[in-house]
Amino acid sequence: MFGRDKQAPQPKQTYTGAATNTGNAYTASQAPSSNGKIETVIGANCRLSGSLVSDGGVRVEGVFEGQIQTTGNLIIAETAKVYAEVQAQNVVISGALKGNINANRVEITETGKHWGDMVVNSLLLNEGAYHRGQTNMNGDVEPPMIEAPKYTSRALTAGEVVNP
């Protein structure tokens, strides 16, 4: 009576599943981006071609051909086969991706395979991961200066020991 038996409306749930089914603890909600929620899912039984543009996270479980551009995270599941040029904030590859990547962070898991070039700030290759292509890391980090070793001016004779 008077609505006491009615349940309060449940908040809308969003999918923030793990990046892989192999126990990897990295999830889309933990990825360092403005919006860690997965808003777009291309299912395992789906084949899609074209250009995908998104302001949120994208998870691919099926087959995709074309271009993917997202300001969020891109997760390529173990069952996925992607043939695309990718631009994303963070990319996790557990399936197969053939195409160039431009991203802040790329992780290739132990089941992930990538053929193509990438431009990244951070790269993580797990044991068993496969990557074939060139990798360019952004940033102007100078290599350390290495000084030449200092030798004594006279030649040593056989069996002579040099005291530092």
Is residue 75 situated within a structural domain?
yes
Cβ-count burial of 139 within 10 angstroms (0-12 exposed, 13-18 middle, 19+ buried)?
Answer: exposed
Is residue 13 situated within a structural domain?
no
Domain that holds residue 56: 37-130
pTM of the model: 0.67
Number of domains in the chain: 1
- Reported as a pLDDT band with limits 50, 70 and 90, residue 30 is very low
pLDDT in tens, 47-82: 999 999 999 999 999 999 999 999 999 999 999 999
Is residue 19 situated within a structural domain?
no
Stronger pLDDT, 160 or 105, i.e. the higher one: 105
Residues of the chain above pLDDT 90, percent: 60
